[in-house]
Amino acid sequence: MVRGRSRPTPDSPLRRHSGRPGEEPAYHYPDRDDRVVLTDADGKWPYPQYWDRSERYALHLVESFLAAGSYASLLDGGGGKGRLLPTFAGYFRAVVGLEPDAERAAHARRVVEQRNLAHAEILHGDLAALESRADRFNVALCCHVLQHVPSQDVASILDAIHALLNVDGLLILFAPRSRQSTDRFVANHLAQGRVVSTSVDEREFNRLIVNDDGILPVRLFSEAQLEGLVRTRFVVLKRWTYRERGPATLFDRFILRDRVFNLPLLRRHFGENLVLVARKPGPRRR
């Protein structure tokens, strides 16, 4: 097993305040310089540009969904360095980015300033910081966040997001997908310039949520289990997958493979990442 200098049973990054007297030390995202993620982006993909093209495909589908409606406000929960703010901010009149890692929140503020996103605000903290907020959001974006939080906290995070959305508000959720019927847990780290992925059990995964060794714990969600968690709170409107490793084939010269494996008969078999778009329903009428 991969072990790091981890703190036992840490609070979820999206369910904690940091830095107050008597509390745990401030949260830091384990992959401090995104070295693990960026190295994996150069991994065994079909061709050099595929990783970026696949992500643009997934983001374009989300943008098409947003363009078809009218949404005033966005919550970007766990938005990290603000990488997606320039993509989505133009669809909203007000944007709040929430990030529990102080360094990454500061980077996101620089993105807001550099891109002149005057209607965007970056907050350092957790979801509890927004509980007293009078205004609710029309859309909540949770992009590759839930796979890095303690497994027992996923349901409460979805509850908190649900509470922060207006009725008919949208949840846009990105997460890595397990090809199995159950969730998988892995620990990713760099060794000799490449990403080494080690299977771990759920307990070890939770121990590694906060560590100082650059080990990035990742939960790969069973599509059925993740969608089940979402469906208890939201109405799922749309789902698709993106990114698939493997050598290039002839058809990769003519079409992005993601378009093919999102056909109804193929989607459940292909795609390393899942995107769900779901709506918060109103109260049931008796």
Q: Which residue has the tokens 């150069």?
A: 42
Based on the structure, what is the number of domains in the chain? 1
- pLDDT for 26: 81
pLDDT of residue 129: 85
Q: What is the pLDDT of residue 10?
A: 40
Q: Is residue 2 part of a domain?
A: no
Residue 15: the pLDDT is 52
Whether residue 147 lies inside any domain: the answer is yes
Phi, psi of 191 (to 5 degrees): -145, 120
Rounded (5°) CA angle 142-144-148: 110
Q: Can you give the pLDDT at residue 96? A: 97
Confirm whether 8 is domain-assigned.
no
127 lies in which domain range? 13-279
Q: How many helices (H) and strands (E) does the chain have?
A: 8, 10
CATH for 150: 3.40.50.150
| pLDDT value at residue 14 | 60
Alpha helices in 90-234 (DSSP H): 102-114, 154-164, 202-207, 223-231
Q: Which residues of the chain fall short of a pLDDT of 70? A: 1-25, 285-286
Residue 7, pLDDT score: 41
Which pLDDT belongs to residue 132?
Answer: 83
Task: Tell me what pLDDT residue 267 has.
Answer: 86
Q: Per the domain annotation, does 286 fall within a domain?
A: no
> Does a structural domain hold residue 178?
yes
Residue 1 lies in a domain: no
Q: How far apart are the first and last CA of the chain?
A: 53
Q: How many CB atoms lie within 10 A of CB 38?
A: 12
Tokens of 36: 């693990």
Query: Can you give the pTM of this predicted structure?
Result: 0.90
71 is a domain residue? yes
